Structure 1
Amino acid sequence: MSSKTLAEISAVMRDIDITMLSTHAENGAIAARPMSNNRDVDYDGDSYYFTWEDSHMIGEIGRDANVSLGLQSDKHFLIAVEGKAEVVRDRSAFKDHWNPDLDKWFENGMETPGVAMIKVRATRIHYWQGEEEGEIVL
C-alpha cells in the first residue's frame, strides 16, 4: 500500500517545524496544540518535544499515552502519526534533542526548572500528497 519509505517521510518532516500534538483531555475531548520539532528529525519513528512539566498535556499523557501528530508541508504533503507518548524527565536524555532555539522558551536551557521532554513513538503513519496516499505501520 505504501510507496514512500520511512526515510522519505523523515525527509519531509525535517522541513516542517510545527506539529499539532493531540492528546486526550480528562473529560474525553481531544486536545491539540502546536509544538515545534526543532528540526530534530532523523526519523526512526520517534519524535521529541519540550514543554513545561506542569502543562495540561503532561497530565493527559499520564492518563492516556495514545497521541497523534499532524503535519503539513508547504508542498501540501500531509502526515498523520499515531503513537504512544512518554514523558522524559531525565535531563541527561535532553542533550540529544536540545536545540539552541529552545533557549528562547526555556531561560536556563536544559537546566531550566520544570522542563520536560515528550517522546512520541509512532505506531502508524498515514500520508497524503495530491492523489497519492499511503500508510506505514511500525
Structure 2
Amino acid sequence: MAAHTLEELSKQLQKIDFCMLQTKNEPGVFSVRPMSNNGDVDYGGDSYFFSYDQTRKVSDIEQDARVGLTFTAPPSLLGKPGIFLAIDGTASLIRDKAQFEAHWVKDLERWFPEGIDTAGIVLIKVSATEIQYWDGEENGRIPLAKREAC
C-alpha cells in the first residue's frame, strides 16, 4: 500500500478535535494534557491551540520548546481501525491579536469568554518536525525539514 502523504494526514487531523499535548518541565518530567485544535491544522504541519498564558504548559514551552502531540480517530463504521498520529514538533507562543483573530473559532468562547480580548490569552503554534502514523493497515513516518518556531 502507498504511504500517506502530509496532505492526507493533515486532512485526517482536521477531523480530530482533541489531542494530547506533551511538554517537559525543568526536572525533565513529562506533562500531558488534552487540547483542542478546533480543526485548525494547515497542510504544512502546523497546529494551533489557545491557552491562558499563566499555565504550566506555557512555562514548560518557554523552558523547552520541543513538544509532542498525539491524535486518535475512532474506528470507521465499517470496522476499519481509526488512525493514530504522533507528532514531534517545536512550539512557539504567539501574543499577537491579529494571529488570534486568524485562528479564532466561536466555540472557543466556552473557555475564553471575552474572545480574542480575553486577558492573558496566548496562541500556541506547534510546527511539526516529524509525523508518525498507524491506521491498522499502514504505518509510516514523515520527516519534515527542520523548522524554526516563529
The TM tier, using the shorter chain, reads over 0.9
Kindly state the Cα deviation for residue 26 of structure 1 after the two structures are TM-superposed.
Answer: 2.2
CA distance in 1 between counterparts of 2:124 and 2:43 reads: 15
Which residue number corresponds to residue 83 of structure 1? 89
Paired residue secondary structure (1:3): coil
Which residue number corresponds to residue 31 of structure 2? 31
Q: Would you identify which runs of 4 or more consecutive aligned residues in structure 1 move more than 6 Å?
A: none
CA distance in 2 between counterparts of 1:122 and 1:42 reads: 11
Which residue number corresponds to residue 100 of structure 1? 106
Identity %: 44
Paired residue secondary structure (1:96): helix
Q: From 101, 110, 122, give the equivalent of 1:116.
A: 122
Please report the RMSD computed on the Cα atoms of aligned residues, expressed in angstroms. Answer: 1.1
Kindly state the Cα deviation for residue 43 of structure 1 after the two structures are TM-superposed.
Answer: 3.0
Structure 1: unaligned runs, 5 residues or longer? none
Does residue 67 (structure 1) correspond to residue 73 (structure 2)? The answer is no
Cα shift readout 1:38-58 (whole Å, capped 9, x = no counterpart): 111233111100000001011
Paired residue secondary structure (2:103): coil
Which residue number corresponds to residue 21 of structure 1? 21
TM-score (norm 1): 0.95
CA distance in 2 between counterparts of 1:6 and 1:131 reads: 17
CA distance in 1 between counterparts of 2:52 and 2:32 reads: 16
Equivalent residue pairs, number: 137
TM-score (norm 2): 0.88
Name the structure with the higher strand share. 1
Paired residue secondary structure (2:70): strand
